[in-house]
Amino acid sequence: MTHHFLKIATWNINSVRARLPLLLAWLQQHKPDVLMLQEIKCEHAVFPFLEIEAMGYTALVHGQKSYNGVAILSTHPIQEKSRSLISEDNEPARFLCAEIEGVDCMNIYAPNGNPRMDDAGLTEKFRYKLRWYAALVADVQQRLSQHRAVVLAGDYNIIPEAVDAANAAAWEGDALYVPEVRKQWRHLMNLGLYDAWRTLHGTQQAYTFWDYQAGAFQRDDGIRIDHFLLTPSLADRLENCTIHREMRAKEKASDHVPVMISLGA
């Protein structure tokens, strides 16, 4: 079986319009085959198609006004497979799946889930995060039963382990780190998926998000919450995984940075 060499990236861009110059410069420099964007924060009608298509990319957009929104950019032929994960009314735009070169590229922007508790107990926001992850696990399971090659990438809003935070103790009780949520991560891993960063870099500490507040980046008080999970045949092709930390130091930076993998032919 022959494959295409593929560079696939993910980036929670925190508004594609506010970040367009940074996005175009990054694409020009790194030229990924595929880029999964989260938090584009716009509807399809105002997505910057012209500028992105001028760089040789086709854009598949699942937009929403003001909040959320995901998109997949590709230099290869792209076929949409799904944009719904959880069959509830008013589903926010947090999911988009497309087939590219025989790979199911699943772009996720998981619910944050905070605040986790209020006076009445677990909040609806937190319960929704758990339901959303249950639906994601079921969707991935379905694709695995069909022997699909799957790249599951995006903003998971999960700190998998203590090593994935500069100060794990500060995240105790937070919806990104509580045991119930880390258990959802383990459910995914136990389906047989490989964390691209962990696979290549072991327990080396690296972060993909630093809060805008309190000089978090200057203090390197970050967390690793943007991830690539791969099915085994794709993990076998994994050549590298890079976290583009330098993007956090730019003017008008997103609070997340790009993560990129290379898959061998």
Give the nearest distance from C-beta 3 to DNA in angstroms: 32
| Helix (H/G/I), strand (E/B), else coil: 56 | coil
Q: How far apart are CA 67 and CA 11, in angstroms?
A: 16
User: Is residue 176 within the footprint of DNA (CB under 7 A)?
Assistant: yes
User: Is residue 192 within the footprint of DNA (CB under 7 A)?
Assistant: no
Give the nearest distance from C-beta 65 to DNA in angstroms: 5
C-alpha 263, offset from chain centre: 17
Q: Which of 58, 84, 112, 199 binds DNA (CB under 7 A)?
A: 112
User: Is residue 218 within the footprint of DNA (CB under 7 A)?
Assistant: no
User: Is residue 62 within the footprint of DNA (CB under 7 A)?
Assistant: no
Tell me how far CA of residue 130 lies from CA of 93, 115, 137, 195, in angstroms. Answer: 17, 13, 11, 20
Q: How far apart are CA 58 and CA 264, in angstroms?
A: 22
Helix (H) or strand (E) holding 139: helix 124-145
User: Is residue 197 within the footprint of DNA (CB under 7 A)?
Assistant: no
Judging by beta carbons within 10 Å of its beta carbon (0-12, 13-18, 19+), is residue 101 exposed, middle or buried?
Answer: middle
User: Is residue 137 within the footprint of DNA (CB under 7 A)?
Assistant: no
Q: Which of 21, 55, 77, 212 binds DNA (CB under 7 A)?
A: 212
User: Is residue 63 within the footprint of DNA (CB under 7 A)?
Assistant: no
Q: Binding residues for DNA, how many (CB under 7 A)? A: 30
Q: How far apart are CA 111 and CA 128, in angstroms?
A: 8
Beta 226-230 vs 194-195: how paired, if at all? antiparallel
Give the nearest distance from C-beta 102 to DNA in angstroms: 30
Q: Which amino acid is at 165?
A: A
Q: Give the range of 110-118, 130-138, 142-150, 191-199 binding DNA by CB under 7 A.
A: 110-118
User: Is residue 223 within the footprint of DNA (CB under 7 A)?
Assistant: yes
Alpha helix (H) ranges present in 193-252? 196-201, 232-235
User: Is residue 65 within the footprint of DNA (CB under 7 A)?
Assistant: yes
User: Is residue 123 within the footprint of DNA (CB under 7 A)?
Assistant: no
Closer residue to DNA, CB minimum distance, 119 or 146: 119
**Contact residues for DNA, defined by CB under 7 A:** 12, 14-15, 17-18, 39, 41-42, 65-67, 111-112, 114-115, 125, 155, 157, 174, 176, 209, 211-214, 223, 225, 252, 255-256
